[in-house]
Every structure is written in C-alpha cells, then in structure tokens.
Amino acid sequence: MRIKPIHPTPWDVRLVDFTTESNIEYFLKYTTPTIIIDQAEKNQGCCENVVCDASSCKGASKEDTSYKGFYLKNLWSSLAEWSGCGLGVPILLDNGIDVTVQYYAPTLSAMQVYTKKPVGRDSDQDLLSSKYVPKRNVPTASEGRSNGDLRRPVDVFGHLYFEFNELVTPYNRVPLTEKINELAKEHPGLVDLHSSALSPYSWISIAWYPIYQIPAMKNSDDLSACFLTYHSLHQGEYVITGAPSKAPQGNKKIEERERKGKRLMIPARREIIEKVLLAPFALATYRLTQKLWKRPDTSDDEVITAKENAAFSWLSSVKFEHSDFTFFISRKYRC
C-alpha cells in the first residue's frame, strides 16, 4: 500500500489521488501549517511566556493531555522550509491526465496579534514600541508597516500587540520567515508569545505566488493563479499520531530483564507526535482559471466562494483594510 506524501516531489505526483480531492482542495490541504508540539515546551507550559492567561494555561502539568497550544516561534519554524524553497502542490492539468507540481513562494501579507492581557514595558496599557505606522490602516510609505505606537482602548478584540499590512509589490518581498525575523527584532512577542495568551481575533494572512513547476509546462498561464490564505493564531486542529505498543504482559523473565536494563526483543514503542494544524479559514484568489480550479463535477466553485466570503466577513469584523485582498478582489476577473 502506497501512502500519499505530505510534501510531493515530481516523482511522487502519481501517488496523489485526484479522484477524491480536487486541485483547490489539495491546495488548501498543502498550505495548512503543521506545528509539531515540542514535548519539553509542553511540559514547561506557557507560564514561562511573557504573557500567560492562568485561567486557560494548559501546559503547567505533565499529566494534562488537553494541551493544544503552541509558541509562535514554532509556527515560523514550520514554515521555514516553504519560505526558503517554496511549497510544492500537485496540480491535475486540464486534460485530466497529466500532473505537475506547482511551487509557490509564501510571503507575509497581513497579520494582527491581539493578546488577552496587555504586553508592555512601563504600564499595563503600553504596547511594545514601534517606529512604524502612527495611525491604523494608513501606511505612510510604500511598504508594509507594523503598528505599535498607537494607544487605543481595549475592546472585544483584546489588546493589540502588533499589526502588519504589506504594501511591497509581490516579487520584491522577502521570504516569510525572514520578514518575521526582521519584525521580531523590535517585537519579540512575535516569537515568544504562546497561543493561549492570544485573543481569538489574532490571525495571519499568507500570500502564495507561483514561481515554477516540475515538470515545467509549455503553457503555464493556467498555473499563474495567486492566493491569499487566512489562518488563526489562537487555535487550530489538535492531532495525535502514533500510539505506544504494549510490551508482552505476564512474562516474568522479560519483566526481570527489563528491570536490569537489558535489551529485549519486544515490539518497539511508536513515537507519539502531537500536532496543531492551522487550516485556512478563508481564502482570496487572483488569476484563477475556470477549467483548472473550478471543475464542473466538483464543489470547487462553492468552496472558493465560501472561503472568499469568509475573508470579506473576517476583515470587516476586525475592521482591517487588507491591501492584498483589495488588490485580488478588484482584479480577479481581469485577463
């Protein structure tokens, strides 16, 4: 039995089953960040963090199996390979037979980080200082800026720790993790904060622009689609893979040898891996071709429409003017 690869290579594309999932479904699956929970950090808990909401801290006890949080630094680590090399997504071409792996370059498009409790240096109402945008959603230069100087009353969103809205043209942007490292120099919470300390209104948008295909296609116009995905920074899907296999019971000789620390020929224990999946809750598209991304025999059109409506609703609810989203929506039907 062959297993579908997590990250396809040109040699793996034939293992992908397009009879069960379409191109857009594969794209949403492959662009889902997967954060491996570090067991040492899990046992340590979030209380070592700069902010900890004690009422919801799940990591203080080693016996607490309900812990589902993560540090933001682990999210960026999970995106490092994609950021440096691109993310390969298998795409079934319009002839319904050939498959290529389209690589996308992820960049930071927008982000808002709200904390449950204030994060500051001098007082409870202080946000970490910033030299950037003096007024929300009104950039003063031709590139993305963060927002930290502005003091504003706390609302249902929580305490605004950080805000970013990229304005640099797509192919002049730096890789995602490089941008995060740059911003974290003045905003250390971008790596130190724990998800349990964040408000549910914390989110990130990642822009995915096509860079190349393997094997290369002669006519790649249909593969020029660009995407924005939106992900929660507060909570994701908690997944456990693997389970320990039980050693033989009732064999005194085996038990005695175990106590002496000798090696036994017993079934090995499988490693238990805990993950948090941050699947896109919303989407925006640009240059999306009907025949490749919206096949008539699938629910692609409904899925894309629902995800795009979710993006519009989310940005409206958090009162954020997302520059990339505005660009995508205003030009998505142009040739």
Place of tokens 């030009």: 331
pLDDT per residue as tens digits for the range 160-175: 999 999 999 998 999 9
SS3 assignment, position 145: strand
Cβ atoms 86, 103 nearer than 8 A = yes
Phi and psi at residue 104, to the nearest 5°? -120, 145
Distance CA 193, CA 51 (A): 7
Distance CA 181, CA 163 (A): 15
DSSP run (H or E) holding 230: strand 226-232
* pLDDT score of 37: 83
Q: What is the DSSP letter of 100?
A: E
Q: In 3D, which of 5, 182, 204, 180 has the Cα closest to residue 80? A: 180
pLDDT per residue as tens digits for the range 51-105: 454 444 544 444 445 556 899 999 999 999 999 999 999 998 887 888 899 999 9
Comparing 136-150, 236-250, 277-291, which segment has the lowest mean pLDDT?
136-150
Distance CA 89, CA 85 (A): 13
- The model's pTM is 0.76
Token duo for residue 204: 């990130």
Comparing 47-61, 100-114, 123-137, 226-240, which segment has the lowest mean pLDDT?
123-137
> Which residue pairs, CB below 8 angstroms and at least 24 apart, start in 42-47?
42/67, 42/274, 46/71, 46/194, 46/196, 46/197
Distance CA 123, CA 129 (A): 12
- How far is CA 48 from each of CA 97, 119, 237, rounded to the nearest angstrom? 53, 14, 24
pLDDT per residue as tens digits for the range 186-232: 999 999 999 999 999 999 999 999 999 988 877 667 788 999 999 99
DSSP run (H or E) holding 36: strand 34-36
Strands (DSSP E) contained in 37-152 are: 87-92, 99-115, 145-146
pLDDT per residue as tens digits for the range 296-332: 778 899 999 999 999 999 999 999 999 999 999 988 6
Q: In 3D, which of 292, 172, 287, 285 has the Cα closest to residue 224? A: 287
Distance CA 103, CA 77 (A): 19
Q: How many C-beta atoms surround the C-beta of residue 141 within 10 A?
A: 10
